[in-house]
Amino acid sequence: MKKTFVPLLLLVALSCTEHKKPDTEPTPVITPLPPIVDSLLITDSSWGLIQQDMNYSDLKVIYGESKLKDERICGPECVDSVDVTKLFPGTSNEAIIYWKDKAWHKTISMIVCYQEGAQYHTDKGLKIKSGIIELLQLNGKKISFMGFGWDYGGTITSYNWGALEKSVLRYELDLAIAPAENEMSVFGDTYFDTDMPLVKKLLPDIYIRKITLVLNHHEY
pLDDT of residue 199: 94
Do residues 105 and 138 share a domain?
Answer: no
State whether residue 38 is helix, strand or coil.
Answer: coil
CA 105 to CA 56: how far, in whole Å?
Answer: 6
Distances (CA, A) of 109 to 41, 51, 83, 159: 18, 11, 12, 23
| Residue 5 located in a structural domain | no
Task: Give the DSSP per-residue string, 50-75.
Answer: EETT--HHHHHHHH-GGGEEEEEEE-
- pLDDT per residue, tens digit, the chain (220 aa), is 444 444 544 444 445 555 555 566 666 666 565 566 789 999 999 999 999 999 999 999 999 999 999 999 887 667 778 899 999 999 999 999 999 987 788 999 999 999 999 999 999 999 999 999 999 999 999 999 999 988 899 999 999 999 999 999 999 999 998 777 667 789 999 999 999 999 999 999 999 999 999 998 654 4
Based on the structure, what is the number of domains in the chain?
2
What pTM does this model have? 0.80
pLDDT at 81: 84
Residues 168 and 206 in one domain: yes
Distance in angstroms (rounded) separating the CA atoms of residues 190 and 73: 27
Query: pLDDT at position 129, please?
Result: 96
Instruction: Supply the pLDDT for residue 80.
Output: 78
DSSP 198-211: HHHHHGGGEEEEEE
Q: Say if 33 falls within a structural domain.
A: no
Nearest residue to 112 (alpha-carbon basis) of 171, 63, 58, 154: 171
Cβ atoms 92, 74 nearer than 8 A: no
Q: Among residues 94, 113, 132, which one ends one of the domains?
A: 113
* 73: containing domain: 41-113
Same domain flag for 125 and 210: yes
* 73 and 131 belong to one structural domain: no
Write down the pLDDT at residue 177.
Answer: 83
For residues 93 and 129, membership in a common domain is answered with no
Pair 85, 152 in one domain: no
What lies within 8 Å, CB to CB, of 180 at 6+ separation is none
In this structure, are residues 95 and 47 in contact, taking their beta carbons and an 8 Å threshold? yes
Instruction: Yes or no: say if 188 and 175 are a contact pair by the CB < 8 Å rule.
Output: no
Q: What is the DSSP letter of 149?
A: S
* pLDDT at residue 5 in the model: 46
